[in-house]
Structure 1
Amino acid sequence: MLKIILLGYVHGLISSRRIAKACENNILFMSVSGDVQPHYTSIAGFVAKMHEQIEPLFTQVLMICDEEGLIGRNMFAIDGCKLKSNASKEWSGTFDELSRKKAKLARASKRIIERHQAQDGLGEELVTQDLNQKTKLDKSADKITAFLATHQEKIGSQGKPVKSNITDPDSAKMTTSIGTIQGYNGIAINDHKHQIILQAQTWGSVGEQQTLQPAVTQLKQQLDKHSSEHTIKFTADSGFNSEANLAFMAQSDFDTYIADNQFRKRNPLFKDSETYETEQEKRRLKRRNGKPRLFTSDDFHYDEATQTCRCPAGNEMWRSGINVKSHHQEYTRFCGYLKDCKICQLQQQCMRKPPMKTGWQVQFKNGDSRKN
């Protein structure tokens, strides 16, 4: 059974139904299984219930790789990806949201009965259709009731309830480059010498940053079984950067390199790259549903020496206030001329609504070193 499952994973078949189907019509699977066609429920049950027996086999594989000198122990890298779960986002929600959904289903079912009582002359076909719909609604409500009675609500890192999924309670809603999915964070740590994976796990209810510490802890437990003569380097991308992770890795024995979230802005290769700026703008427009980027004070040309300011469109602004106090700070405030703002082509990036009484206002902290 394990051979069949691993062969399926190698060929991108992660569904138990698809693996079972491959055992019926794929010559490779038929050869490995001895021409036995296991039911998909048997495959799913094996994966779910036999993980404690399967895990030591992978440990033995790593020990053999180590004995053959395939693991260098000089540099490790961690990375992750989002794995889609075989569960619908429709069945996700906090316990409060699921309770409201259950009540909504009950009201919809009740309305069907009330309509039948008020209209005795409904046709047989319509009655049958409504009764089938009522059965589905009642079944969904019972599914939610059973889940709420047998599971405890998940609490996030900030102490607030997080969404659970009725079909797959271990999974979570995650934002990816292709939209929001119901799935897992898949994390792997590999060795640089032959790209052998030493740690691979999935987490459902935590972000990518939170997976670094448990993954590294388990890696250290494996390495402690064997002595290492070299200082181990450890690399990670900006997705794992956080103050907690930096503090944790500083206490480890690894020479760690983790990119921060602003490194592209400091790198001149990215600053002068039209491709990077174009793709970054495409991602931003996709997140904002095509809405243009709003200007900030950094987009205005402020000359502190002459106390003048020009807007991004190049129009002069008039100083509307000096030493304006806000949040215990003093600012100099400028305002655009209404006649300019009304006809400006960049109006949507300045103001949420068309200007009626005044133009765009911007303020600069006194002592700001920026120049025109």
Structure 2
Amino acid sequence: MGFIEGQDRAQVSLLPPSIEDYVAPEALVRVVDAFVDSLDLSELGFERTVAAATGRPGFRPDDMLRLYVWGYLNQVRSSRMLERACWRDLEALWLMRRLAPDYRTIAAFRHDNPEAIVRTSAAFVQFCREQGLVGGHMVALDGTKMRAVASPKNIAGAERLARDIAHTEREIAYYLDRLDSMDEQVAQGFGDQPTHREAFGDAIASLQRRKDRLAKRQGELAKREESVLVFGEPEAKPMGYAHAPKVPAYNLQSVVDVESGLIVHHDVCNDANDSHLLHPMSVAAKEVLEADQLHVLTDGGYSNAVEVARCEDEAIIVSAPIKRGAMNSEHFRPTQFVYDQESDTIRCPGGYDLRRSGIHTRGRAVRYRTPGCKTCSLKPRCTSGAQRTIHRLIDQGALDRMEARIYADPSLMRIRRCTVEHPFGTIKRMSGGGRFLTRGLRKVKAEAALSVLAFNILHAVNTFGAGKLTGAG
């Protein structure tokens, strides 16, 4: 029995295959082609949608958009790799109709149209809504850190820059002393100039350039009035998890529809903390879905009382656990003090009522105390000070209602985890482990939009089928 043999490369075909035969009817690339074909690129804000009357003809923007969306779907994001794909990948040959723009032209398209690319990603969500593929009543919100282009070595603060400058000055002084010592030996007749004198001079010049560069960074840091700066990528911030080393990164936020699993809204920011992002992300998702009321599932990182209260004012219900700080286990925890809304008092474990004694306007909190601490037998278990003080946030009621929903239905956190974590894993796998290729928040947002669009297309095809999308497109 022999082996399966391929065709002879020198065999001449009577009728060569057409480009259409290169791609299967159910291929994902056909969905990309149908979606881009349905867009009005001028309305989305793409440049050069109308050919110029003079000059060399350019590539159509819809062809460039097709290439980028297909590339992000197939983990091909670099402009140079996309250029190679146009020559050797059958799907790219079919999609571009044998066009092969050079990598500079490909990179320029993403560089010149970041806002239009973001609107394109949003257009696919609206396309899915029009087809009835998005539920729009319950969503899950979360964020993840995505690496920036800059190296962690470019993270520096005022203290580190001063230390590096001092170290560089010591090295310069060392080489200068060595040169002085050589000159003294020559003057005393102990030999000719050493052969490595020129190397010492080059080292001093290199160190001086390094010192000038560090001094320039010092001035830039002082001008921006920031404690730490990522040089080469100033809009990125050092971010990390727990005690892990901080790396230059951006914060990618996404809102995922629970029913369909599609990302209905996303954004990129350089805030390492999520606590102030609940309200803007939730309101934006509500506007995208055009919903009268929205239920948002999220984690404890978003448990900001002010943000939760603002969401309630916008008819947005938030379900999440409260993020609580660490406390000495020898004393009663704040959760053991029961608040009574009617009397505006807090009942302590010793049976005393703590009453208002002041307001912290900066922290938006009310201070509660009781004179009963002086005679309470449980005082050693409550505080080591003269009196126990309990602070209750002005919007604490919104947090309590938020946490009560979790206790009433613990499955909400499982739904949140299964809904919002999966897209991040897929996006990071498709983006080289979760790293952007461009610099600056404006361009990074375009990259994130392409990644989100690629995920939504892939998920929609896997969930609803390619026919549902191509037929509607």
TM band (smaller chain): 0.5 to 0.7
Offset, 1:107: 5.0
Cα gap change, 1:323/1:235 in structure 2, threshold over 3 Å: closer, same or farther? Answer: closer
Of the three residues 110, 135, 149, the one matched with 2:206 is 135
Aligned equivalents of 2:82, 2:179: Cα separation in 1: 48
Higher helix share goes to which structure? 2
What percentage of aligned pairs have identical amino acids? 17
Q: Partner of 1:62 in structure 2?
A: 125
> Counterparts in 2 of 1:1-372, with a 5 A limit?
1-12=64-75, 18-24=78-84, 27=89, 31=93, 34-39=99-104, 46-95=109-158, 97-98=160-161, 101-102=164-165, 104-105=167-168, 108-109=171-172, 111-119=174-182, 121-124=193-196, 127-128=198-199, 131=202, 134-135=205-206, 138-139=209-210, 141-142=212-213, 145=216, 148-149=219-220, 152-153=223-224, 161-176=226-241, 179-223=245-289, 226=290, 228=291, 231-261=293-323, 297=330, 326-329=384-387
Aligned equivalents of 1:51, 1:147: Cα separation in 2: 32
Q: Is the 8 A contact 2:300 2:321 kept in 1?
A: yes
Aligned equivalents of 1:91, 1:213: Cα separation in 2: 33
Matched to 1:24, the amino acid is R
Q: Is the 8 A contact 1:71 1:191 kept in 2?
A: yes
Q: Partner of 1:335 in structure 2?
A: none
Aligned equivalents of 2:163, 2:107: Cα separation in 1: 32
Aligned equivalents of 1:151, 1:185: Cα separation in 2: 25
Between stretches 71-80 and 45-54, larger displacement belongs to: 45-54
Q: Partner of 1:370 in structure 2?
A: none
Matched to 1:253, the amino acid is A
Offset, 1:19: 4.2
Gaps of 5+ in 2: 1-63, 184-192, 332-377, 389-473
Aligned equivalents of 1:181, 1:4: Cα separation in 2: 31
Q: Aligned-pair RMSD on alpha carbons?
A: 4.0
Matched to 1:328, the amino acid is A
Higher strand share goes to which structure? 1
Q: Is the 8 A contact 1:189 1:197 kept in 2?
A: yes
Bigger RCO (CA 8 Å, 6+ sep): 2
Matched to 1:214, the amino acid is P
Cα gap change, 1:173/1:150 in structure 2, threshold over 3 Å: closer, same or farther? Answer: closer
Offset, 1:235: 0.8
| Normalised TM-score (structure 2) | 0.46
Q: Partner of 2:45 in structure 1?
A: none
Aligned equivalents of 2:128, 2:216: Cα separation in 1: 49
Offset, 1:10: 3.1
Aligned equivalents of 2:228, 2:264: Cα separation in 1: 31
Q: Is the 8 A contact 1:106 1:141 kept in 2?
A: no
Cα gap change, 1:101/1:43 in structure 2, threshold over 3 Å: closer, same or farther? Answer: farther
Gaps of 5+ in 1: 155-160, 263-294, 299-321, 331-372
Cα gap change, 1:257/1:123 in structure 2, threshold over 3 Å: closer, same or farther? Answer: same
